[in-house]
């Protein structure tokens, strides 16, 4: 049984840990007549809450996370002092990547019963997912002290402590100095020797060609690696190109010509290949925009990113890439990309990717009418496209402000704004979207960032469209992927959903930190 399955089984077994609530009948005890009605109601509420909890546990096992959350919520409404109900709902929120909600329920579980240690695990898991390792470490340390003989508790504390110390060391050795381009840093890469037994694709005079890209994709399908010399060369070329791009890229799609927008790929290389099989390879007549989160979670992220970077170099004016919240060092170290690059190449190359990702554009505007960003809109109504153009993006995503919200925010069904379910960015309603589009003379926005059953969702009276292109996300969610096509003289979106295709037997998160594997 995997650690994830074990966690769900423990959640399903939670009724064994549930204390008898105050007022519940104990066999053989006599209650005063005046308390009979109150006691009976408490018994009925508790019994109903337990039924809802058990239904939630069943749905958690079958990965129906939204339904599980509904069941746990009903249980909490009937019996609001159960730490188990909050802890189980926290787990369901974690599975949906609603880390802010998961944190709230972890806190509630600890408040409801400070002796219920699983509440501390849930709170720690949410803090870890948000990159707040020091806060997570406090919870792991508390559990380890409470259970000094529990090897699992000690392991989690030790692993989290390693991460905290590593982050502190990285900050200590960091120095402010003028940043060099990758070409300046890796001048000696031209001297890298290509071994005689390497039979893979090769750049032609140092340049990406269509033949190289076709050979590369076939090479990757056979689970082979691009030679490090060519990998470094592609990274140097993409670094130089992206540095010259604005934070908001304007795209003109000519009349009658098709343009395709894809959402999150998340290291699912074989599903990326299926998109090209369905919709055609990128070309000057078949342009694409990929809207962030190219890497992490899926264990073929290296193959995805070099394929995407290769096509960007081959068709710089007809192939576009936006930054997502996972193109950042925190996410990459937690969710597998850093580990994958280190395993397939070197830790030095992982550092190079961090620099390259800092220069990715933040959003694109198509024919002055469609704004495409990874996350969503903003905490104020006065944001203009020029404000976005002026963002200094060469950095790690901050925890607030325009750049943060472009990468992290989500739409909500109700009016106004609210705190983010993720704990980062905001949630924005239909009125916010309408005002933003009106102020900037836009027809609608396209964003990604969220799993959708059909791979897309139309919200906010058609002005906020979500597209997600990683089907059966993490091999668990059962969703379809999708992409959107438009034409230059008809900006009405057309949707194409598609199912996941088979891939080699390498599990998602295979390269992630062991502690993150437990969380996932």
Residue 512 carries which DSSP code? Answer: S
Residue 444: strand pairing partners: 370
Residues 6+ apart with CB under 8 A from 166: none
**How far is residue 200 from each of residues 176, 191, 273, measured CA to CA in Å?**
39, 18, 18
Residue 5 region by backbone torsions, left for phi larger than 0, else alpha for psi between -120 and 50, else beta: alpha
How far apart, in whole angstroms, are the C-alpha atoms of residue 393 and residue 430? 28
**Separation in Å, CA 461 to CA 404, 431, 434, 435, 444:** 25, 10, 9, 13, 10
By the 8 A CB rule, do 397 and 348 touch?
Answer: no
Tokens of 190: 């031209």
Tokens of 145: 């002290």
Helices (H), 203-328: 210-221, 228-243, 269-279, 301-314
The count of other CB atoms within 10 Å of the CB of residue 193 is 8
Q: Residue 442: count other Cβ atoms within 10 Å of its Cβ.
A: 18
Length of the chain: 520
**Taking a C-beta distance cutoff of 8 angstroms, is the pair 246, 389 a contact?**
yes
DSSP assignments along 76-87, one per residue: HHH-TT-HHHHH
- Is 364 catalytic? The answer is no
What radius of gyration do the chain's Cα atoms show?
Answer: 25
Please, which residues have CB within 8 angstroms of residue 475's CB and are 6 or more apart in sequence?
Answer: 507, 508
Q: Please say whether the dihedral angle defined by the alpha carbons of residues 476, 479, 480 and 482, taken in this order, is positive or negative.
A: negative
Q: Write down the catalytic residue from 79, 127, 318, 326.
A: 326
- Token reading at 263: 């959402």
Catalytically active residues, by annotation: 326
């Amino acid at each position: 049984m995997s650690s994830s399955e074990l966690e769900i089984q423990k959640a399903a077994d939670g009724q064994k840990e549930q204390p008898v609530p105050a007022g519940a009948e104990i066999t053989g005890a006599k209650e005063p007549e005046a308390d009979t009605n109150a006691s009976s109601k408490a018994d009925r509420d508790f019994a109903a809450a337990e039924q809802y909890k058990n239904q939630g546990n069943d749905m958690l096992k079958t990965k129906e996370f939204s339904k599980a959350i509904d069941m746990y919520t009903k249980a909490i409404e009937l019996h609001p002092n159960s730490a188990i109900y909050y802890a189980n709902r926290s787990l369901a929120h974690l599975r949906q990547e609603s880390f802010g909600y998961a944190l709230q329920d972890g806190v509630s579980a600890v408040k409801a019963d400070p002796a219920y240690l699983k509440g501390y695990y849930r709170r720690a898991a949410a803090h870890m997912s948000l990159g707040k390792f020091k806060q997570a470490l406090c919870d792991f340390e508390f559990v380890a002290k409470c259970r000094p003989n529990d090897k699992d508790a000690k392991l989690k504390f030790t692993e989290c402590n390693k991460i905290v110390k590593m982050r502190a060391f990285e900050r200590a050795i960091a120095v402010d100095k003028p940043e060099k381009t990758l070409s300046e840093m890796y001048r000696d890469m031209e001297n890298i020797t290509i071994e005689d037994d390497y039979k893979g694709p090769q750049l032609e005079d140092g340049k990406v060609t269509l033949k190289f890209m076709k050979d590369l994709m076939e090479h990757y399908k056979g689970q082979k690696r691009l030679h490090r010399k060519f990998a470094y060369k592609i990274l140097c070329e993409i670094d130089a190109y992206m540095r010259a791009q604005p934070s908001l890229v304007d795209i003109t799609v000519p009349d009658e010509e098709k343009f395709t927008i894809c959402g999150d790929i998340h290291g699912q290389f074989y599903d990326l290949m299926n998109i090209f099989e369905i919709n055609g390879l990128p070309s000057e007549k078949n342009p694409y925009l990929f809207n962030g989160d190219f890497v992490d979670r899926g264990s073929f992220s290296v193959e995805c990113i070099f394929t995407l970077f290769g096509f960007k170099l081959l068709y710089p004016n007809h192939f576009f890439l936006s930054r997502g919240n996972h193109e950042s060092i925190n996410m990459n170290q937690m969710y597998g990309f850093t580990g994958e690059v280190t395993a397939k190449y070197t830790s030095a190359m992982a550092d190079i990717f961090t620099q390259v990702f800092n220069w990715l554009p933040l959003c694109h505007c198509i024919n002055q009418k469609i704004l495409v960003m990874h996350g969503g809109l903003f905490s104020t109504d006065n944001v203009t496209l020029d404000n976005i153009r002026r963002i200094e993006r060469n950095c790690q995503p901050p925890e607030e402000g325009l750049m943060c919200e472009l990468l992290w925010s989500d739409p909500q069904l109700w009016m106004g704004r609210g705190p983010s379910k993720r704990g980062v960015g905001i949630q924005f309603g239909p009125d916010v979207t309408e005002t933003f589009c009106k102020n900037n003379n836009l027809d609608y926005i396209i964003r990604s960032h969220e799993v959708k059953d059909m791979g897309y969702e139309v919200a906010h009276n058609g002005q906020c469209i979500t597209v997600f292109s990683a089907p059966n996300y993490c091999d668990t969610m059962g969703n379809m992927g999708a992409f959107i096509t438009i034409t230059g003289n008809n900006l009405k979106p057309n949707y194409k959903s598609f199912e996941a295709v088979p891939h080699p037997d390498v599990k998602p998160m295979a390269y992630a930190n062991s502690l993150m594997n437990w969380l996932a």
